[in-house]
Amino acid sequence: MLASRDPQLIYLIQRFAENCGCQLLKAEGGANIISVIAQKRPDVLLLDISQMNPEGRLIQQELKSQPGTRFIPIILCATSEVDWLDCEAEGRLLQPILFGDFVNAVAETGIQIPKYAKEVEKK
């Protein structure tokens, strides 16, 4: 799942997910985003904290504090490393995001990417 209001980032991550054989759910923020994430229970959440900051930080903190969502891996997407200081997350992507960085960040959370699962098993 991608939580972002940035149409360019949404488009890019959608393409990356498609190239990996993954389904991407999108959430554009708003008051109900926590409940949407809790209900959908994504395998991994890419959270854009550069466009949603400080809302992105609040979302990240709320998700990590709730029993039903605390174990959802979060990958923070930001335009500056300063954006994610003091944020708990399983991964980080600095924009501009390259395809290889996306694949590595998702794989490092323990999520198997369908198109690359056999390659990861060989290593």
Confidence at residue 84, expressed as pLDDT on a 0 to 100 scale: 80
Residue 47 has pLDDT above 60, yes or no: yes
* pTM given for the model: 0.87
Whether omega before 73 lies within 30 degrees of 0, making that bond cis, reads no
Percent share of the chain, pLDDT over 70: 88
Give the burial class of 53: count Cβ atoms within 10 A of its Cβ; 0-12 exposed, 13-18 middle, 19 or more buried: middle
3-class secondary-structure state, position 94: strand
Q: Which of 26-35, 56-65, 102-111 has the highest mean pLDDT?
A: 102-111
Our measurement of the distance from residue 84's CA atom to the centroid of its chain's CA atoms, rounded to an integer in Å, reads: 13
Structural domains in the chain, CATH included, are 2-122 (3.40.50.2300)
Confidence at residue 120, expressed as pLDDT on a 0 to 100 scale: 44
Confidence at residue 53, expressed as pLDDT on a 0 to 100 scale: 59
Residue-wise pLDDT tens digits, 66-116: 998 999 999 999 988 887 888 889 999 999 999 999 999 999 999 888 776
